[in-house]
Amino acid sequence: MGDPFLRRLNDMLAGHDTPAEHIDALILPLDQLIALGPLARPGSNDTLTRWRALYRVAGCDLALIKLYEGHTDALAIMAELGVTPDAPDEARWAMWAAEPPQARVHVDDGHVDSANAAQVTLTGTKAWCSGAPIVTHALMTVWQDDQQRLAAVAMDQPGVSVTDRGWQAVGMQATASVDVDLDHAHAKLIGPANAYLDRPGFWQGGAGIAACWLGGAHALARALQAKASNRQDDALLMAQLGHVDAALHAGLAGLRDAAATIDAAPSENSQRLTLRTRALVEHSVNQIITHCGRALGAAPFCRDRRFARMMADLPVYLRQSHAERDLAALGRLCTETESGWQP
């Protein structure tokens, strides 16, 4: 993968200079990204290149990276489980794992194919389905009796209904993360029970989300850098840029360390590493949002579409973090194992 892939990626993104305002505008750039070929799996000794690609796309358009990251995550999960996707190479995949209490999908009792237990039908509602109006296939968590399973679903079938419910956001509006209703929809079970959470790639993939957050923050930092380059005599502006530089590099250092650690021991549980990395990057991103806003004032919020779009999208995307709940989980892990706080 490496540098040649990133060069092709940069060439492709050069033509996508306006963040999407509607999901239909994401079809072409998403297809172009998919056509570049799959990203390396997390833990495959090329994790940093994977995250650099996510970071670069995020700095261009956060709605686009939300769908692209979901596509790459679905492919990585199936590869980790030794499954070849039952779909054409140009298929647009989604990965939907949110399970609020009011929205769950179940394997239909009595509708399991006796000749092929992996072929099932699904009924229920899946919430927070990013990209639902335009993806062709979805990998999703479902329930069979009391066990969580993964199921692959082709979206173009009578048993799948993409609704307009559940997404009222201004930020990340173009992702159209609506509810999807399934009524005896045909699906294929992927991997064993509880495979989604039990595999090493669950936490490794979760760390990659932080690269998307920081990529968005990088775009804000560039806007501040551009203004500051012409006002080097403004001490307050220089101080704000200094804050942003320190925050951005702290986040980047955390991502590099996490990628190296994952690649050095790809089979180990990386929960603590992922929670720490996400917390570090979230702090960096919040610092960048704050200092860019204070330094640049109202004008770019009101007159710069790209800046305004990023400022609206990034806080919504950042809430994929579970904030203090994740920090509490990290704290408990620190009491149970050696902290690793070595200089």
Per-residue b or e along 57-92, where b marks 16 or more CB atoms closer than 10 Å to that residue's CB:
bbbbbbbbbbbbbbbbbbbbbbbbeebebebeeebb
What local confidence, expressed as pLDDT, does residue 18 receive? 79
What local confidence, expressed as pLDDT, does residue 30 receive? 97
What local confidence, expressed as pLDDT, does residue 323 receive? 93
Express each pLDDT in 242-257 by its tens digit.
999 999 999 999 999 9
Over residues 132-153, the mean pLDDT reads 97
pLDDT for residue 306 is more than 80: yes
Express each pLDDT in 308-330 by its tens digit.
999 999 999 999 999 999 999 99
Over residues 44-67, the mean pLDDT reads 97
Q: Enter the DSSP assignment of 289.
A: H
What local confidence, expressed as pLDDT, does residue 112 receive? 54
3 state DSSP class of 297: coil
What local confidence, expressed as pLDDT, does residue 9 receive? 93
- Measure the CA dihedral 177/178/181/186, to 10°: -30
**Mean pLDDT computed over every residue of the chain:** 94
Q: Which residue type, as a one-letter code, is found at position 107? A: V
What local confidence, expressed as pLDDT, does residue 327 receive? 96
List, as one string, the DSSP characters of 203-265: HHHHHHHHHHHHHHHHHHHHHHHHHHTT-TT-HHHHHHHHHHHHHHHHHHHHHHHHHHHHHHS
What local confidence, expressed as pLDDT, does residue 342 receive? 81
pLDDT for residue 118 is more than 90: no
- Those residues with Cβ within 8 angstroms of residue 108's Cβ, 6 or more apart along the chain or in another chain: 120, 121, 122, 123, 184
Express each pLDDT in 92-114 by its tens digit.
999 999 999 889 999 998 655 55
What local confidence, expressed as pLDDT, does residue 227 receive? 93
Q: Which domains does the chain have, with CATH numbers?
A: 2-80 (no CATH), 93-193 (2.40.110.10), 197-336 (1.20.140.10)
Its pTM surpasses 0.85: yes
H helix or E strand, kind and range, residue 282: helix 271-296
What is the phi/psi pair of residue 4, to 5°?
-55, -40
What local confidence, expressed as pLDDT, does residue 35 receive? 97
